[in-house]
Amino acid sequence: MSRILVIDDDVNLLQMVKLMLERVGHQVEIAKDGMQGVQMAADHQPDLAIIDVMMPGLSGYDVVRKMRQDPRTARIPILILTARSQPMDKEMALEAGANAFMSKPVTAHELTERVEAVIRAGVNYRVHTGLLTEPIPSRLGRPVGRPAADPLAPPRQTPTPPVSGAAAQPTSTAETTRTSPKPPPRLPVTTVISLRGGTGCTTIAINLAAALAGDARRVCLADFSAVGGHVALYLHLKPEHSWQDLLSQGDTPAVAQLPGLLTSHTASGLTVLAAPPRPLDETLSTPATHSVLRALTATYAPVVVDSRQLDPATKGALQVSSSVVVVMTDDPAAVQSTSQLLGVLAGMGVEMGRIRVVLNHVRPTFDVPADAIQKALKRPISVDVPYEPGQPIAVRRGVPLVSTKPDSAFARSIQQLARTVVS
């Protein structure tokens, strides 16, 4: 479920759009003109704003520009929905700062599909017809507006609506926004995480990295697990070094040393930053993780991080990741743990648009249906990975399945995931 603000002066249309979106579980707020919409966006900070162009007073373009100029609303994805459907109108909307453009009339299916794609993609991407997604070059790596919250801070409270008729007071969120430290810039990093064991998180991370490497990218797979990471084991690697070698250097690791810590996996073309062979009670600090990932992304793009706990290193990775893959299975405990993890991620300032939920079927039998999982999580499953009986053989061979069985349903779903994390 997402919170969506719809700004349109046409009351009938507002009601129709509200109904369409509420029917699929979104929470919708409505504003009847541009000024009210700008104020509500700043006060409520929705996950998405749908804006009409043709409104009296402030036009839709003006509303978009005002939202992009205000740090409180600059990172809210915007979808323009208008009867002015000419290519020049679309160009104007995207130039003003919108993320997507739809012309009326739209069907409920078209609208909800595009809304979900825009929320998933986040503010740094444009989502075109057919859900084609492209990055907005001027915004990538330059986060503006609402900074990510301090990972150690308590979860963000939902701001309360302003009292009708009263002058809008700055909410606690807005105050926090003005005083929070500047967040680290986003990097081409994908963090794959699951807090529950046995969900196949490492399998997904390895296969995702291999799928990305198969598209002629230089990919590094970083195993940030402090409790006996399995990446090296799954790939039959015997690394001589790991990130443990950097621990003694505190917050400022000598990144020049990094190339010497990496291990190559020839069959998949991956480069691996391995985890220590034995469990440790210590991990890289958050600033040290930022430095390591900054250095790695200078050579490798993307870097895929495999993580299974919420320690300082994982927090550092999550802060700079352009996408976060949450892996779960279909058993009730995994659903509960994923729901809790999503709440923690929200509290850490990881926007919903960066998160992809992957349902990984690690058993041939089914447990909780996908629909029920989506309802429980209040968000869609991005990719459903089918059960693959050949997985144990792949581990025994030390080669990811996407490389050995590229036509399997498992490999196709991983390819689908790869497309969503790089789009």
CB nearer another protein, residue 14 or residue 231: 14
Q: Please check whether residue 214 is in contact with residue 402, taking contact to mean a CB–CB distance below 8 angstroms.
A: yes
**Amino acid residing at 352:** M
Among 1, 3, 10, 370, contact with another protein (rule: CB under 8 A): 10
List, in sequence order, the alpha helices (H) in 70-200. 87-96, 108-121, 172-179
Residue 374 tokens read as: 């989506």
Among 11, 22, 69, 86, contact with another protein (rule: CB under 8 A): 86
List, in sequence order, the alpha helices (H) in 9-107. 11-23, 34-44, 60-69, 87-96
The residue among 348, 81, 14 whose CA lies nearest residue 193 is 348
| Site for another protein contains 88 (CB under 8 A) | yes
CB nearer another protein, residue 12 or residue 179: 12
Residue 245 tokens read as: 């070698």
Residue 255 and residue 197: Cα distance in Å, rounded? 31
| Site for another protein contains 28 (CB under 8 A) | no
| Site for another protein contains 78 (CB under 8 A) | no
CB nearer another protein, residue 110 or residue 175: 110
Least Å distance, CB 40 to another protein, is 21
Handedness of CA 363, 368, 374, 376 (dihedral sign): negative
* Backbone region of residue 345 per phi and psi (left: phi > 0; alpha: psi in -120 to 50; beta: other values): alpha
* Backbone region of residue 222 per phi and psi (left: phi > 0; alpha: psi in -120 to 50; beta: other values): beta
Residue 359 and residue 362: Cα distance in Å, rounded? 9
| Site for another protein contains 104 (CB under 8 A) | yes
| Site for another protein contains 35 (CB under 8 A) | no
| Site for another protein contains 13 (CB under 8 A) | yes
| Site for another protein contains 59 (CB under 8 A) | yes
| Site for another protein contains 130 (CB under 8 A) | no
* Largest distance between two CA atoms of the chain: 68
Least Å distance, CB 408 to another protein, is 37
CB nearer another protein, residue 68 or residue 356: 68
CB nearer another protein, residue 62 or residue 331: 62
The residue among 246, 265, 248 whose CA lies nearest residue 256 is 246
Q: Please check whether residue 142 is in contact with residue 183, taking contact to mean a CB–CB distance below 8 angstroms.
A: no
| Site for another protein contains 101 (CB under 8 A) | no
> Stretches 82-90, 241-249, 309-317, 379-387: which one binds another protein (CB under 8 A)?
82-90
Helices (H) and strands (E) in the chain, counts: 15, 15
Among 84, 156, 218, 412, contact with another protein (rule: CB under 8 A): 84
| Site for another protein contains 17 (CB under 8 A) | yes
> Stretches 88-96, 128-136, 253-261, 387-395: which one binds another protein (CB under 8 A)?
88-96
Residue 414 tokens read as: 């991983």
Q: Which of residues 39-58 bind another protein (CB under 8 A)?
A: 53-56
Among 21, 38, 42, 61, contact with another protein (rule: CB under 8 A): 61
Least Å distance, CB 124 to another protein, is 24
Least Å distance, CB 101 to another protein, is 12
| Site for another protein contains 266 (CB under 8 A) | no
Least Å distance, CB 76 to another protein, is 22
What order of strands is seen across the sheet that includes strand 78-82? 27-31, 3-7, 48-51, 78-82, 100-103
Instruction: Determine the size of the site formed for another protein (CB under 8 A).
Output: 25
**86, 93, 115 from 89: Cα distances, Å:** 5, 6, 19
Chain residues binding another protein by CB under 8 A are 10, 12-13, 16-17, 53-56, 59, 61, 83-89, 92, 103-108
